[in-house]
Chains A and B, each alone.
Chain A
Amino acid sequence: MERQGEVQDEWIVGGHRFSSRLLMGTGKFQDEETMVGAVLASGAQIVTVALRRVGRIPQEDDMLGPLQRLRGITLMPNTSGARNASEAIRAARLGRELSGSSFVKVEIHPNPHHLMPDPIETFEAARILAAEGFVVMPYMPADPVLAKRLEDVGCASLMPLGSAIGSGRGLATAEMLRLILRDARIPVIVDAGLRSPSEAAAALEMGCDAVLVNSAVAASGDPIAMAAAFAQAVAAGRNAHRAGLMPRGGGTALATSPLTAFLSVEGP
């Protein structure tokens, strides 16, 4: 999509330039070392983190320290856990204090089982946070009209789901994603449901600007190797998109009575 200047194939979101089109989530890892290793192997420059209360046990695992010390990484607090707009807004404000960046992933899922995003609460939170100067990245159902509404209220990107979080069903929403991509004026980042690097490649081939993966890496056999594989796939998908895929086959058999016969009786 011809949405932004592609100097060295960078993409721009919220006024910030990035070269990596793979975003990483940091949840579900068995330990900090694996998580950091995977983030490094992925080449991700935007990494989501969650907000939790500090426990009273002083020696709690500090998952985040090493990550915060890595250079070139933008931490993006995720409002996951919030069940409505006002909780998400509160979480976003707290997150900004801690991360030092204005990026926030607005994720509001009232149902703790399928974890589908609430379109109405997400819209409300996005509207208010965008007005407060956050770089709002809304996790959303793959709905083309919601996409335009979120764009209109000032979101920096759109993060439509490929399929339900953790479901590993890939780009189940492909047709909806196409409609979103067609009219989007801000980057489109497919988030949730991807299981394999080939699905990430497919998202980029389709024209998506980036993808976010978490479960697919954390729950794989070798997360660090899988993160690297995803990085390769995202690059391949992106390059393929820029190169222009060969058209599908599917010849059109010509009808016996041609539709254009009336043209041979030439008029002026």
Chain B
Amino acid sequence: MKLTVNGEAYVAKQAESVTALLEEMGIGGRAVVVVLNDEVIPASSRSTCGLREGDCVDLFRLVGGG
């Protein structure tokens, strides 16, 4: 499935759910916030949240700074 992840084109092999996508990307266990098409997807909804062709996914984490 063709997606845009963090502003770049990305072809996902596992796209049944957001959780699956994160697993595929190797960041399954990490503390990230998922924004799908400008909507924040709470952690509790990730496994049931499906993806569609052309979706925009942004992933954020907290880092040292500020």
Looking at A27, A51, A53, A62, the one whose CB has the most chain B CB atoms below 10 A away is A53
Residues of B within 8 A of A77 (CB): 62, 66
In the complex where A53-B6, A54-B61, A56-B6 touch, is A97 in contact with B42 (Cβ < 8 A)? Answer: yes
Q: Does A49 contact B (CB under 8 A)?
A: yes
Q: Could you give, for residues 49-61 of chain A, a 1 whenever the CB lies within 8 Å of some chain B CB and a 0 otherwise?
A: 1111111101000
A78 at interface, CB cutoff 8 A: yes
Q: Does A64 lie within 8 Å of B62, measured CB to CB?
A: yes
User: Interface digits, B36-66 against A, CB 8 Å rule (1 contact, 0 not)?
Assistant: 0000101100000000000000111111111
Query: Is the C-beta of A162 less than 8 angstroms from some C-beta in chain B?
Result: no
Q: Mark A90-113, 1 if CB is under 8 A from B, else 0.
A: 000111011100000101000000
Give A78 to B8 CA distance when docked, in angstroms.
25
Q: Does A35 contact B (CB under 8 A)?
A: yes
> In whole angstroms, how far apart are the Cα atoms of A99 and B42 in the complex?
13
Q: How many residues of A contact B (CB 8 A)?
A: 35
Other-chain residue from B7, B59, B66 in contact with A48 (beta carbon distance below 8 A): B66
B65 close to A54 (CB less than 8 A): no
Q: Are A62 and B66 in contact (CB under 8 A)?
A: no
A54 contacts which chain B residues (CB < 8 A)? 6, 27, 30, 32, 59-61
Is B66's CB under 8 angstroms from A76's CB?
yes
> B46: shortest Cβ distance to chain A, in Å?
12
CB neighbours (8 Å) of B64 from chain A are 26-27, 29, 32, 35, 49-50, 63-64, 67
Q: In the complex, what distance in Å separates the CA atom of A27 from the CA atom of B64?
A: 5
Q: Does B33 contact A (CB under 8 A)?
A: yes
Whether B66 lies near A78 (C-beta < 8 A) is yes
Cα-based distance from A27 to B48 in the complex (angstroms): 36
A19 is an interface residue with CB less than 8 A from chain B? no
B25 CB-CB contact with A under 8 Å? yes
Q: How far is the CA of A77 from the CA of B8 in the complex (A)?
A: 25
Q: List 16 A-B contacts (CB under 8 A).
A: A25-B65, A25-B66, A26-B66, A49-B65, A50-B66, A51-B61, A51-B63, A52-B61, A52-B62, A53-B6, A54-B32, A54-B59, A58-B26, A58-B27, A68-B62, A98-B32
- Which 7 interchain pairs have the tightest Cβ spacing? A50-B65, A78-B66, A48-B66, A58-B26, A26-B64, A27-B65, A54-B59
Q: Which residues of A contact B (CB under 8 A)?
A: 25-27, 29, 32, 35, 48-56, 58, 62-64, 67-68, 75-78, 80, 93-95, 97-99, 105, 107, 214
